């Protein structure tokens, strides 16, 4: 009898499920590059179970597919036996009688012997795969194809490297982001231990820290045995955070991560059970001497935030390189980990948002400041973990007097605004009203260009007065290309603030701000820098509060008199007109050796099938035969600076094709398809941090090239 009672428990434990599951499937959305066996391993179930639950006959799955996962101890049907009661069956399978009544459309709790009771939802049929490409037929137009597949014309052009709307019968258009060709995607996520292996050797072989290897496999000692399967890379559930998705409840999230509901509430300062789509929930507390790596965190910025060197951090954590992974727990120097920063509460701030900004749990920030509740007031000063970034290689954001850089030229008025400042005239709307809202461009691109140049020249003079921090980039020419602009705003996405209110983020307005910050930092290191686009009425901006989002104004112009002198509507930056940007780059690099020229195009992706972390794209022809190897090398050098989870990929992009730069890449710094990324982009601190990462990577590359030139 004892053995019979124990068997179901052992089965549940071996399968990796603690307790019975609720009567709803856990959903896993397949990401690019994932295999069925990897997903099964992650959830500690068999591939056969995955196939059965999702009506899959083979191993074929596709990015974006939703896979159901059920607790192995919960069958779909149960046959009522003599003596059974509805409440007893519910207790056995971890359900409520209300759930069983709903699943079986029962009005009462009365059941009969032999009756079949449904315990979970019927299995969903495998959804039809979305097409990956489209072969053009006679009469097709780009706009019709975009509408058919629910894509924007701009995104379709970007995917296929098109400079204009011209397409030809028989031509094949890519409809989805191509498979990632990065080295990271080809790496194993699991390793089977062989005779003679040691944990330290495995950690070094696969470039994963020994402490992380222990953490991933829940090992307390480094003893392993042949045949043992080891996880080599963290999965989503190892990351220590969860971004709330549509339809999720707090209890479901707690069950998924095997947390007590009250503990999840305590960690995140949740008093009831209300959560918002896009809300970032912390799943574990970090001791003061530990930093839990998040997507985008870089080893160099963690070290500097806590007053440590990269070497010291590597030694403490058994790392042989600067590569780190989301969810990795990094040990900090005990004394230096006590370093804290002060945060002065502003009007509109709330504790959860401040904690999120400083990568803390609400529980940690309350304990640190002896707060009994989450109520805070403007003017309060809170002790917080230091923001990442800002080291000795550049001035901190707070050390640059941005107001002195934003000087109005003679005869031009400066207008302060909650999302400004602005020059000449501010936008009509106080913030972006809807995803369709825009403010039309002025009539004359030439007049707008002259206005923009006047503002830009004043800005350049003030930046020059900052002086220099180093000569590392002396002799280097860099062209910065803020993506989209003019008539083309790029992605306009809906997101939520911390109170659940709808907000809208416009891609081109925010990447322009990041490009300007990169411009300032590059000048501090001696680079000659050219922008491809200019705005006629603003420079760097901040939003106070961040809910005052930047407005879609179609007024940016090309930074070239020749491209505006005809004063025609066609002169405005627009979808696909990428050759103009290449022309500006060619003129900027005319007097610079190719080996000292860099082109950076800034974007924020909006593709749920692409990674959440930064991507660096280099040129690769559609057939894969023509690869820009120098730019691929440059992209790889940028990855450690951009942080955990960053990837590279080759793609046929018009702005990189025939571009004269020695190193040229397109940077997808954020992916707005992920609510957390849209949330982050609204904050000046995060935009400046993105800029610092780009400049750090560029400095690393320049130093390497400078050393090679001296040999």
DSSP annotation string for 284-322: SPPPTTEEE--TT--HHHHHHHTT--HHHHHHHHT-SSS
Peptide bond between residue 421 and the one before it cis (omega within 30 degrees of 0): yes
User: Is residue 566 helix, strand or coil?
Assistant: coil
Q: Which of 205, 197, 234, 195 lies closest to 217, judged by CA?
A: 234
Tokens standing for 251? 């209890």
607, 688: one domain: yes
Question: pLDDT per residue over 79-113, tens digit each?
Answer: 888 888 887 777 666 566 777 887 888 877 788 88
Instruction: Report the pLDDT averaged over residues 210-229.
Output: 85
Instruction: Find all residues with CB under 8 Å of 220, minimum gap 6, and list them.
Output: 214
User: Is residue 437 helix, strand or coil?
Assistant: coil
Question: pLDDT per residue over 628-684, tens digit each?
Answer: 999 999 999 999 999 988 989 999 999 999 999 999 999 999 999 888 888 889 999
d(CA 464, CA 478): 16
**Residue 186 located in a structural domain:** no
Q: Last residue of some domain: 118, 151, 184?
A: 118
Is residue 699 within a helix (H) or strand (E), and if so which, with residue range? helix 684-710
443, 590: one domain: yes
109, 137: one domain: no
Tokens standing for 261? 């509901």
- Count how many domains the chain has: 4
Please count the CA atoms within 13 angstroms of the CA of 386 that sit on its side-chain side. Answer: 20
349, 446: one domain: no
The confidence score (pLDDT) of residue 351 equals 84
d(CA 156, CA 140): 14
659, 692: one domain: yes
**Residue 405 located in a structural domain:** no
623, 678: one domain: yes
Q: What is the DSSP letter of 336?
A: G
User: Is residue 47 helix, strand or coil?
Assistant: helix
Ramachandran angles phi, psi of 404, nearest 5°: -75, -25
Q: Which of 88, 68, 175 lies closest to 130, judged by CA?
A: 175
How far apart, in Å, are the Cα atoms of 320 and each of 204, 207, 645, 648, 704?
Answer: 7, 7, 18, 21, 19
What percentage of the chain carries pLDDT values higher than 90?
Answer: 33
The confidence score (pLDDT) of residue 16 equals 34
**Residue 275 located in a structural domain:** yes
340, 423: one domain: no
**Residue 197 located in a structural domain:** no
Angle of helix 507-523 versus helix 445-464 axis, rounded to 10? 40
Which of 54-58, 297-301, 322-326, 515-519 holds the top average pLDDT?
A: 515-519
Q: What is the pTM of this model?
A: 0.73
The confidence score (pLDDT) of residue 1 equals 35
611, 656: one domain: yes
376, 444: one domain: no
**Residue 512 located in a structural domain:** yes
Which of 206-220, 379-393, 593-607 holds the top average pLDDT?
A: 593-607
The confidence score (pLDDT) of residue 18 equals 34
92, 160: one domain: no
Tokens standing for 660? 């004269």
158, 55: one domain: no
**Residue 67 located in a structural domain:** yes
**Residue 379 located in a structural domain:** yes
Residues 616, 665: contact at Cβ < 8 Å?
Answer: yes
**Residue 693 located in a structural domain:** yes
Residue 125 has pLDDT above 50, yes or no: no
The confidence score (pLDDT) of residue 550 equals 96
Q: Which of 677, 676, 659 lies closest to 668, judged by CA?
A: 677
477, 569: one domain: yes
The residue range of the domain holding 140 is 133-174
Question: pLDDT per residue over 142-168, tens digit each?
Answer: 878 877 777 777 777 777 767 677 788
Assign residue 153 the CATH number of its domain: 3.10.350.10
């Amino acid at each position: 009898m004892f053995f019979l009672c124990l068997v179901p428990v052992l089965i549940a434990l071996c399968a990796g499920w603690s307790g019975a599951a609720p009567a709803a499937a856990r959903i896993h959305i397949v990401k690019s590059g994932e295999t069925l066996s990897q997903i099964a391993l992650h959830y500690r179930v068999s591939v056969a179970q995955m196939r059965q639950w999702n009506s899959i006959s083979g191993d074929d799955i596709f990015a974006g597919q939703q896979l159901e996962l059920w607790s192995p101890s919960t069958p779909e049907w149960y046959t009522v036996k003599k003596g059974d009661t509805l409440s007893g069956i519910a207790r056995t399978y971890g359900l409520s009688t209300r759930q069983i009544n709903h699943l079986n459309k029962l009005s009462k709790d009365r059941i009969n012997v032999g009756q079949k009771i449904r315990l979970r939802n019927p299995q969903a049929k495998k959804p039809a795969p979305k097409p990956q490409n489209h072969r053009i037929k006679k009469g097709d137009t780009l706009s019709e194809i975009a509408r058919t597949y629910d894509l924007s014309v701009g995104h379709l052009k970007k995917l296929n490297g098109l400079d204009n709307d011209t397409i030809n019968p028989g031509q094949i258009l890519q409809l989805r982001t191509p498979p990632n060709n990065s080295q990271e995607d080809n790496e194993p996520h699991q390793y089977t231990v062989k005779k003679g292996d040691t944990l330290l050797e495995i950690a070094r072989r696969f470039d994963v820290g020994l402490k992380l290897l222990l953490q991933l496999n829940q090992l307390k000692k480094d003893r392993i045995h042949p045949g043992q399967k080891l996880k080599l890379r963290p999965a989503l559930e190892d990351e220590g955070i969860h971004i709330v998705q549509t339809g999720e409840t707090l209890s479901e999230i707690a069950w998924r991560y095997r947390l007590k509901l009250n503990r999840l509430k305590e960690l995140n300062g949740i008093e009831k059970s209300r959560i918002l789509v896009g809300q970032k929930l912390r799943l574990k507390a970090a001791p003061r001497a530990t930093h839990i790596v998040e997507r985008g965190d870089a080893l160099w910025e963690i070290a500097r935030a806590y007053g440590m060197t990269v070497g010291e951090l590597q030694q403490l954590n058994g790392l042989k390189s600067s590569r780190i992974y989301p969810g990795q727990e990094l040990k900090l120097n005990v004394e230096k980990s006590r370093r804290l920063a002060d945060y002065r509460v502003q009007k509109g701030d709330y504790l959860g948002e401040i904690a999120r900004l400083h990568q803390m749990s609400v529980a940690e920030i309350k304990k640190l400041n002896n707060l009994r509740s989450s109520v805070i007031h403007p003017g309060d000063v809170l002790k917080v973990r230091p923001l990442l970034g800002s080291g000795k290689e550049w001035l901190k954001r707070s050390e640059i007097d941005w107001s002195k850089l934003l000087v109005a030229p003679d005869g031009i008025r400066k207008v302060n605004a909650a999302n400004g400042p602005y020059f000449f005239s501010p936008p009509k709307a106080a913030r972006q009203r809807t995803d369709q809202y825009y403010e039309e461009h002025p009539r004359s691109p030439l007049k707008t260009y002259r206005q923009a140049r006047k503002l830009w020249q004043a800005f350049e003079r003030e930046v020059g007065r900052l002086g220099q921090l180093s000569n590392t980039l002396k002799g280097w020419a860099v062209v910065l290309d803020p993506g989209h602009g003019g008539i083309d705003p790029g992605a306009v996405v809906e997101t939520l603030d911390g109170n659940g209110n709808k907000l809208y983020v416009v891609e081109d307005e925010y990447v322009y701000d990041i490009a300007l910050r990169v411009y300032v930092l590059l000048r501090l290191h001696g680079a000659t820098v050219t922008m491809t686009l200019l705005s006629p009425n603003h420079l760097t901006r901040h939003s106070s509060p961040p809910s005052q989002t930047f407005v879609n104004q179609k007024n940016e112009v090309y930074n070239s008199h020749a491209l505006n002198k005809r004063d025609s509507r066609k002169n405005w930056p627009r979808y696909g007109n990428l050759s103009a940007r290449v022309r500006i780059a060619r003129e900027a690099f005319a007097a610079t050796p190719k080996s000292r020229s860099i082109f950076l195009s800034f974007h924020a992706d909006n593709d749920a099938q692409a990674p959440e972390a930064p991507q660096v794209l280099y040129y690769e022809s559609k057939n894969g035969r023509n690869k820009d190897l120098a730019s691929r090398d440059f992209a790889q050098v940028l990855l450690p600076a951009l942080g955990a989870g960053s990837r590279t990929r080759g793609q046929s992009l018009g702005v990189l094709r025939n571009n004269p730069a020695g190193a040229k890449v397109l940077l997808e710094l954020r992916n707005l398809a992920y609510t957390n990324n849209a949330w982050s982009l609204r904050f000046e601190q995060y935009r400046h941090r993105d800029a610092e990462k780009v400049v750090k990577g560029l400095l690393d590359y320049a130093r390497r090239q400078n050393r090679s030139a001296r040999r």
